[in-house]
Amino acid sequence: MSDEQEQFSFTTYDEWLPLERSAEPLVSALELDDVTKEACSQFDYQREQTFFYPWKIPSLPQEWGVGLIVGGSGTGKSVLLKEFGKISEPEWKEDVAIAGHFDDYKIAMDRFYAVGLSAVPTWTKPHHILSNGEKFRADLSRQLESNAVIDEFTSVVDRTVAKATSRTMKKYITQSNIKNLVVASCHRDIIEWLEPDWIIDTDAGMYCLAPKECLHREPLVAEIYEVKHSMWSHFMEHHYLTTDLNKSATCFLAVVEGRPAGFGAVLYFPSGTIKKAYRSSRIVVKPDFQGFGLGVRLSDWEGEYFTKKGFRFFGRTPHARLGEYREKSSLWRPTSMNKKARRSNDSKRDNEIAHWTHDRRLGYSHEYIGNSTENQ
């Protein structure tokens, strides 16, 4: 045998097994009115009873994270879903912000991040004034519990929102050790993002345990453009601190699938001790794209862009998710001001820093070092 190493690739195929139908049908009997009879008579249709043989729950493991029932309308998804328990439908008070429906602010924040509802201004709104996409995510934030049963999953939202929410939801379920949650959906584009532990397909009459092959997904690609300051007007309402932006900022736009998705702004960093440096000023992602990790990747891209041009690059943020990402990333290192209060002579800046160093928040401060060892 040759000592030369050989490699080969192979594909694992998911094993799909047949579902069984119940021997007892569901019967719907109705006394038809004259209008219905006349309408149906045009097609020689006179049936007053309908019969449906529902699918039976197949042999599943005792524990799982999230299971998915997928199929078209009328294929028995909802009937089968009810076999797993009562369908979860949260109630909302009209005069209370969505965040106020949780017992603890940390739980509220974790749940909102879990469903990609990262726009802080949205947390302060009552449920009835939210957009359809925001309502879907808000409802989901209160449904993420063990043994929850969720129908019409992602049915009323943009498909980008559906994919992003599926991704963040799966991550939260895994990290929080949520067990035996089941969702039903008529959409298949969420499968690779949700990564279910089992799938029941009511269209095909088949089910699969521990799917792998169908979970493969192509990465999202963001195109970055340097843009004028005026582009900020399309993103400023989604920023959690202020709608202001320094006129001297260098601005970048992230476009995903032809749609404006993220905005970044950087400022030159004048300092008596640091030469040739820039700092991040704004990172904003539109609600439909929150949950893909676009914000942190745009931040990394800015750091790489400026360090390759010979500048040092810094980022300071009160945003816990972005700050913790940098804490754990090998691309960033903490500065001496990390998690410390800082004051400025500028009164407006003082107010912003005071907001950052609220007793429930920390200001994270890091320098981008990339993968190169020369800056470490």
| Lowest-confidence segment of 31-35, 243-247, 305-309, 316-320 by average pLDDT | 31-35
In a domain, 201, yes or no: yes
Q: Could you tell me if 186 and 212 are in contact, meaning their C-beta atoms sit under 8 angstroms apart?
A: no
Please tell me whether residues 235 and 361 are part of one structural domain: yes
Q: Which band of pLDDT confidence, cut at 50, 70 and 90, is reported for residue 345?
A: very low
Strands 364-368 and 312-317: antiparallel
| Distance between CA atoms of residues 314 and 20, nearest Å | 59
In a domain, 364, yes or no: yes
Choice between 271 and 251, residue whose per-residue pLDDT is larger: 251
What pLDDT, on the 0 to 100 scale, is given for residue 318?
A: 83
Q: Could you tell me if 19 and 206 are in contact, meaning their C-beta atoms sit under 8 angstroms apart?
A: yes
Q: Which residues contact 370 (CB under 8 A, 6 or more apart)?
A: 303, 304, 307, 331
One-letter amino acid for residue 130 of the chain: L
Give pLDDT tens digits for 177-231. Answer: 999 999 999 999 999 999 999 999 999 999 999 998 888 888 889 999 999 999 9
In a domain, 339, yes or no: yes
| Distance between CA atoms of residues 209 and 307, nearest Å | 47
Q: Which band of pLDDT confidence, cut at 50, 70 and 90, is reported for residue 12?
A: low
- 13: DSSP letter: P
The predicted model gives 21-45 an average pLDDT of 80
Length of the chain: 376
In a domain, 2, yes or no: no
Please tell me whether residues 43 and 76 are part of one structural domain: yes
- From 274, 202, 189, 169, select the one nearest 58 (Cα to Cα): 202
Asked if the model's pLDDT at residue 341 lies above 70, the reply is no
The predicted model gives 324-337 an average pLDDT of 92
Where is the domain boundary, 156, 189, 215? 215
Q: Which band of pLDDT confidence, cut at 50, 70 and 90, is reported for residue 240?
A: low
Please tell me whether residues 178 and 207 are part of one structural domain: yes
| Lowest-confidence segment of 21-35, 67-81, 93-107, 302-316 by average pLDDT | 21-35
Please tell me whether residues 163 and 263 are part of one structural domain: no
Asked if the model's pLDDT at residue 327 lies above 60, the reply is yes
What pLDDT, on the 0 to 100 scale, is given for residue 372?
A: 59
Q: Which band of pLDDT confidence, cut at 50, 70 and 90, is reported for residue 57?
A: very high
Range of the domain at 33: 16-88+143-215
Asked if the model's pLDDT at residue 374 lies above 50, the reply is no
Strands 26-29 and 49-52: antiparallel
Please tell me whether residues 210 and 159 are part of one structural domain: yes
In a domain, 346, yes or no: yes
pTM: 0.75
Angle made by CA atoms 55, 61, 63, in degrees to the nearest 5: 115
Asked if the model's pLDDT at residue 43 lies above 70, the reply is yes
User: What's the total number of domains in the chain?
Assistant: 2
Q: Which band of pLDDT confidence, cut at 50, 70 and 90, is reported for residue 319?
A: confident
In a domain, 80, yes or no: yes
Please tell me whether residues 248 and 190 are part of one structural domain: no
Where is the domain boundary, 167, 187, 215? 215
What pLDDT, on the 0 to 100 scale, is given for residue 315?
A: 93
| Distance between CA atoms of residues 45 and 319, nearest Å | 62
In a domain, 94, yes or no: no
What pLDDT, on the 0 to 100 scale, is given for residue 266?
A: 96
Helix (H, G, I), strand (E, B) or coil at 98: helix
Please tell me whether residues 237 and 157 are part of one structural domain: no
Please tell me whether residues 206 and 332 are part of one structural domain: no
Element (H, E) at 62: none
What pLDDT, on the 0 to 100 scale, is given for residue 105?
A: 92
In a domain, 114, yes or no: no
Please tell me whether residues 279 and 234 are part of one structural domain: yes
CATH number of the domain that residue 270 is part of: 3.40.630.30
Give pLDDT tens digits for 261-300. Answer: 999 999 998 766 788 999 999 999 988 888 888 999 999 9
Arithmetic mean of pLDDT over the chain: 86
Asked if the model's pLDDT at residue 9 lies above 70, the reply is no
